[in-house]
Each structure stands twice: as C-alpha cells, then as structure tokens.
C-alpha cells in the first residue's frame, strides 16, 4: 500500500509551513517477486530485466528472491499462513494456491494486455485456467518433454533421423536399433535410450500414461488416477520393455540421477534420452564436442508444463501489472527462456533471431505448440509433485522384476490416501 507521511497528510497547514510548501510525496512501492532456484544464468537475466523495468518505472522497485526448489513451496505455504505472501511468485501449481486463498482472478488485467500479446500466449495453459481456477497467472516459461539424440550415433547405425513426430512404438524400435556392440567384445556398450533415473523418470512414465489416455486429475482438481488403472499398468510395462535397451537393463534407473544420465549421453554411451532442453546447455560444459552433435526429435507423446507468474491479492496490483506488461514483451521472454534453457510460451517466436537461428530451439518451440504434446491438467490442478514419487516407486519395482498390476495398485492406493489427507 502506498504510505503517505502522517504529519503531512493529517496536518496540511503545518506540513506546508514545515516543508516550504512542497506537496506530500508517496514512498516508492516495492514489489516482492519469488521464484524457485532457477539456474544462475536465468536468475541473472531476470535481475537484468528487473533493472530495466525499474529504470523505466521510477518509484517501483522489484525485490527478487530465488529459493531452493526443495524449500520453495513450503516457504510459500508458510507465507500464506502468516499473511506474508509476495506480490508475485512463479509456479505451475494453480489450484494448490487457490485453495490456500492467496490467488486472484486477473481476467480484467488480461483485457488490458494488448490483443496481440494475449493471442500469442500458448493457449493450453490459458484454456485449463479458464475452465478451472480462472486467469490467476501470466505465462513466463515453458518446458516441453521431448527426445534429445546424438546425430552421429544415428549416422553410425545408418538410421535416418525421422522428420515427423515419432510415436511410442517408433521410440522402442529406434532404441533397439541404436543398442549395439561397438568394440566387438560381445557386449553392448552403446544403448538406444537412457532412462533419467530416480524420481525424474516418472516424468517419462507420465508422458506414456497421458498418451495412453490416462489422467491424474479432472478440471476440479479431483484425483482420478484410480479410474485409469489399465493405462497405469500399460505405462509401467512400456518402461520395463524399453529398459532392455538402456545401460543396466532391468536395474537401469534404480538410483541413477539426472546428472549421471547426462554424463552417459556426454560419453556417447546412449543415443537418446527424454529431456526438456537444458541438456544442450549442460553438455557445453560436460562435453562440447557432443553438444555439437545434439538434436531433438519431435514426438507425438510429449508432455508440456508451464511456470507462470501468479499475481496474488497484492495491495500493489497496478504496479505489479506494469511489471507483467514489461516482462511479457516477446524479446524479453525469449531472452529469459533462452538463458534458462526453457521455451518461450508464445506462438509468435518462430522468426525470432534467437530461435530461428537454432534448429534445436525451433524444434522445441514447435513441440510446445503441437496439440499432441498436451498440457496435463494434473500438473496444474493436483499435488502432482508430492504424489509423483509414488509413481517412481512403482516404476522401480517393475524394473526390478515386480508385477506391474501389483505395483500400480500399491501406488494408486498410496496416492489416494495421501491426497485425501491434504
């Protein structure tokens, strides 16, 4: 809230005498913006955008805080309890924060954005929001789960890179063809696919589950995963089958980290891995020569997610909206997402020099805009992050030889119980 100096406001005559006739001045407004632990380059770029905004808008300051992801949502929850929620924060979980009573429908602010800006936003998250929680947030960054691949390993095996989006059957076939014994010692030393490992492989499972018709939650945020038991089992079976073409076989993903899978890709031990795009940035440090061989395949079973800026019940709504207008500029959004290794959630960036000059960026932007790479409502409307570890427990159990039906039933029962307690 803008604060007026009490003396000048309450005693205008004395104020005029004391201050030589100068009118009372409002103090600067400080907006608080929180994000999770973005990559350092992303944080640096966001701070540069904030500095540019402050230079154009004297009197408005933006206090930016990045919080480690493993503490981030708990800190927002604590702030909600204490009534100390920031003016703006970045997240993809809409209904969680609506239930906490800290969001506001900002449809009127969307009406004040230029029609060109709104028309360029990726439509999927806006559609889901409008049908469920209302327009509580504004697009910031996109993540498109697709397949990163090594161009030279494809060439070595004489496999033509598919020009059209591939399906799950084709991914399995490619994984088999790209698994081979390079040094002739009778054992495979190059594998077609690299499971990410640990809990992150549940993202890959989720892509399969969603492509098979499964859903986590309905548009009211009700957990309905139990209604898709068959798809749950089928996705687990697929994970076990593709593990045959992954280093380690049945134990491929047990205990493996994201970093170790990146390292396998950098060592050219695997030809393909599911990724969201930042592997290109990481490989520049791990293995620059392999980064030059990196490409992305379009897939018809992708999974998109979005992190948006939520504008809560702030007392500084007008000032916050000015910042939203500023950062949603096409060039600024491209600049920020490029620094993050993420994808600009606008449909009008294909001709932007940063994107048009990079084949991988073009592929990822097209993947994000492709209707087949749908937005999973469960990502926005259910405690997906909290429930996802139970999916991984099921995947790990199946990879180690467990029964898919039993693993699915156990995971569904655990998720349902946990969901009911939240």
Co-location of 282 and 402 in the same domain = yes
Number of domains in the chain: 2
Q: What's the predicted TM-score (pTM) here?
A: 0.81
Query: How many whole angstroms separate alpha carbon 185 and alpha carbon 176?
Result: 19
Tell me the C-alpha distance between 240 and 195, whole Å: 11
Does 340 fall in a domain? yes
Could you report the per-residue pLDDT of 284-304, keeping only the tens digit for each? 888 999 999 999 998 988 888
Q: Are residues 309 and 298 in the same domain?
A: no
pLDDT at 90: 95
pLDDT at 173: 98
Please tell me the predicted confidence (pLDDT) of residue 377: 61
The angle at the Cα of 13, spanning 12 to 14, to the nearest 5 degrees, equals 95
**Tokens encoding 105:** 């429908």
pLDDT digits (tens, 9 = 90+) for 78-124: 999 999 999 999 998 888 898 899 999 999 999 999 999 999 998 88
Residue 354 CB burial class (10 angstroms; 0-12, 13-18, ≥19)? middle
Domain check: are 343 and 365 in the same one? Answer: yes
- What does the block give as tokens for 158? 């004489």
Q: Residue 94 has what pLDDT?
A: 83
On whether both 266 and 337 belong to a single domain, the answer is no
pLDDT at 14: 34
pLDDT value for 381: 59
Same-domain pairing of 240 and 348: no
Q: Does the residue 152 lie in any domain?
A: yes
Residue 351, burial from CB neighbour count under 10 angstroms (0-12, 13-18, 19+): exposed
* CATH (domain of 102): 3.40.190.10
Are 296 and 413 members of one domain? yes
**What confidence score (pLDDT) does residue 92 get?**
85
- 126: containing domain: 6-143+305-369
Regarding whether 168 and 47 lie in a shared domain, the answer is no
In this structure, are residues 87 and 65 in contact, taking their beta carbons and an 8 Å threshold? no
111-139 burial: b if 16+ Cβ within 10 Å, else e: eebeeebbebbbebbbebbeebbebbbbb
Residue 33's pLDDT is 98
List the pLDDT tens digit at each of the 422 positions of the chain: 322 222 233 333 333 333 334 333 346 999 999 999 988 999 999 999 999 999 999 999 999 999 998 899 999 999 999 999 999 999 988 888 988 999 999 999 999 999 999 999 988 888 888 888 899 999 999 888 889 999 999 999 999 999 999 999 999 999 999 999 999 999 999 999 998 766 667 888 988 998 999 988 887 778 899 999 999 999 999 999 999 999 988 778 777 788 888 899 999 999 999 887 678 778 888 899 999 999 999 898 888 888 899 998 999 999 999 999 999 999 999 999 999 888 899 999 999 999 998 888 888 888 887 766 666 665 665 666 678 889 989 999 999 999 999 999 999 999 999 888 87
Residue 400 shares a structural domain with residue 325:
no
Tell which phi-psi region holds residue 89, choosing left (phi > 0), alpha (psi between -120 and 50) or beta: beta
Do 243 and 197 form a contact (C-beta atoms < 8 A)? no
> Is the residue at 412 inside a domain?
yes
- Confidence (pLDDT) at 380: 62
Q: Is residue 386 part of a domain?
A: yes
Task: Find out whether 89 and 33 touch, Cβ atoms under 8 Å.
Answer: yes
Q: Is residue 1 part of a domain?
A: no
């Amino acid at each position: 809230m803008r604060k007026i100096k009490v003396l000048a406001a309450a005693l205008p005559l004395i104020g005029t005498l004391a201050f030589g006739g100068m009118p009372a001045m409002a103090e600067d407004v400080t907006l608080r913006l929180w994000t999770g632990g973005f990559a350092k380059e992303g944080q640096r770029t966001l701070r540069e955008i904030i500095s540019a905004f402050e230079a154009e808008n004297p009197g408005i300051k933006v206090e930016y805080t990045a919080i480690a992801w493993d503490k981030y949502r708990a800190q927002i929850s604590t702030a909600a309890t204490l009534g100390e929620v920031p003016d703006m924060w970045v997240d993809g979980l809409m209904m969680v924060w609506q239930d906490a009573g800290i969001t506001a429908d900002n449809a009127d602010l969307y009406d004040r954005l230029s029609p060109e800006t709104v028309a360029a936003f990726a439509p999927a998250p806006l559609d889901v929001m409008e049908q469920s929680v209302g327009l509580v947030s504004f697009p910031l960054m996109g993540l498109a789960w697709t397949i990163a691949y090594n161009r030279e390993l494809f060439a070595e095996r004489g496999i033509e890179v598919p020009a059209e989006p591939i399906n799950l059957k084709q991914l399995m076939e490619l994984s088999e063809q790209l698994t081979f014994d390079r040094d002739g010692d009778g054992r495979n030393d190059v594998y077609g696919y690299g499971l990410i490992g640990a809990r992150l492989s549940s993202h890959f499972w989720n892509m399969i589950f969603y492509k098979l018709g499964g859903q986590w939650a309905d548009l009211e945020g009700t957990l309905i995963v139990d209604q898709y038991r068959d798809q749950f089992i089928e996705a687990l079976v697929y994970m076990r089958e593709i593990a045959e073409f992954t280093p380690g076989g049945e134990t491929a993903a047990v205990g493996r980290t994201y970093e170790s899978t990146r390292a396998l890709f950098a060592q050219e031990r695997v030809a393909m891995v599911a990724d969201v795009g930042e592997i290109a940035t990481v490989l520049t440090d791990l293995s620059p020569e392999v980064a030059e061989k990196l490409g992305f395949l379009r897939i018809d079973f992708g999974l998109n997610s979005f992190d948006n800026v939520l504008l809560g019940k702030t007392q500084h709504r007008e000032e916050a909206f000015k910042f939203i207008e500023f950062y949603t500029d096409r060039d600024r959004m491209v600049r920020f997402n490029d620094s993050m290794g993420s994808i600009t959630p606008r449909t009008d960036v294909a001709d932007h020099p940063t994107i048009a000059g990079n084949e991988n960026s073009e592929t990822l932007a097209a993947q994000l805009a492709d209707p087949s790479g749908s937005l999973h409502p469960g990502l926005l409307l259910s405690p997906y992050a909290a429930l996802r570890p139970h999916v991984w427990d099921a995947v790990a159990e199946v990879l180690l030889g467990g029964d898919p039906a039993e693993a699915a039933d156990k995971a569904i029962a655990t998720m349902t119980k946990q969901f009911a307690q939240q």
